[in-house]
Amino acid sequence: MKINKLSIWIVFLLAIAVVGSSCSKKKSTTEAKKASQFEVIATAADNYLASGKAPVITSSNVYANLNDGNSANDPYVLSIRSATDFANGHVPGAHNIPWREIAKTANLSKLPTDKQIVVVCYTGHTASQTTMFLNEMGYDAVAMKFGMTSWDTVAAHTHIYHSSDPSDCPDYPVETTPHVLAKGNSFPTVNHTTSTDPKEIIRTATDAYLGSGKAPVILSSALYTNLNDGNTSNDPLVLSVRGHADYLAGHIPGAVNIPYREVARDTNLAKLPTDKQIVVVCYTGHTASQITMLLNQLGYDAVALKYGMTSWTVDPSKNPSAATNRPYDPNRDCGNYPVATGSGLLKIANAVNW
């Protein structure tokens, strides 16, 4: 009888040990998943996208805010153009950190955490990429729509000018047949740091992308040529991040659709290929640029279609959304506001955390 009781206790203790070991393994697996650099970045992006924050702000709203007589509500204007172009003309009061240097620790320490940051570039594309990054890092950032071309039309100040003349848009064909990607692709491996700090993981992944020298955009003419060169092996995946109704009304032939605010979800990222370029398409290039930043942070090879669907076709019968998401028009979208010249040094605004 004593032996039986002893045996029972031994079995009981072994059972507890097995269950404990199993729980420990499950916990370790969960912690390992949480520690995945891919997952950390995707989660930060998904939280930002799900917040509903507006991706852009118009130059008229920025101007009104800066000139309402109340400096307490002024945003921090961050120009990410080159130092030379910044010196030639910039939004008064703006600070300058060139785009490819924005993820450096020393530069991030200069940015405030207690006010909105309005990011300004040339046409809105790299500003939108930067906006995605800064929001992932916990800043409150928004891109100025159409960049400096919406502030001032003087060539020396804007550097890059996009006309709304319909002759500038090639009016390429579209289709209305939807295309669906099956889930099942493996995620890229992201490993740019040994740190487990989420912000350092995001920062190093961003710095690696920006340091690669990859172009942030592709022209519609280059995309059209590629898709129609008779060689399907070099075709990119065209990812439309417009609303599903707009996608169905007319999209680039062969394009697939994942709405902008849903891209960072695991179920959607698992549909994207890791063995070919992804060309991201939106309305005017702004939200596509945000997604381009995210995908490159995650290890995909992505690029935004410059000016979005407005550079593919502005024919209302092919692109109905062009009526409300219109191409840049200097007469409508540019306020020709005053600019400041010269360069300025940024002081450290927040040396404690990002």
The whole-angstrom separation of Cα 106 and Cα 85 is 22
The whole-angstrom separation of Cα 210 and Cα 107 is 14
Q: Give residue-wise pLDDT tens across range 104-125.
A: 999 999 999 999 999 999 999 9
On whether the pTM is more than 0.95, the answer is: no
Mean pLDDT on 304-320 = 87
Domain annotation for the chain: domains and CATH numbers: 49-165 (3.40.250.10), 167-327 (3.40.250.10)
> How much is the mean pLDDT over the chain?
86
Q: Which of 208, 223, 232 is nearest to 296 (CA)?
A: 208
H or E segment to which residue 304 belongs: strand 302-305
Of the two residues 142 and 18, the one the predictor is more confident about is 142
Q: Which of 78-92, 156-170, 180-194, 214-228 has the lowest mean pLDDT?
A: 156-170
Is a pLDDT exceeding 90 seen at residue 340? no
- Please report which confidence band the pLDDT of residue 2 belongs to, taking 50, 70 and 90 as the band edges: very low
Is a pLDDT exceeding 70 seen at residue 94? yes
For the chain, what percent of residues have pLDDT higher than 70?
82
Mean pLDDT on 143-167 = 73
- Please report which confidence band the pLDDT of residue 165 belongs to, taking 50, 70 and 90 as the band edges: very low
- Please report which confidence band the pLDDT of residue 257 belongs to, taking 50, 70 and 90 as the band edges: very high
- Please report which confidence band the pLDDT of residue 157 belongs to, taking 50, 70 and 90 as the band edges: low
DSSP string, 166-216: GGGS-----B-----PPS-PPPPP--S-S---HHHHHHHHHHHHHHTT--S
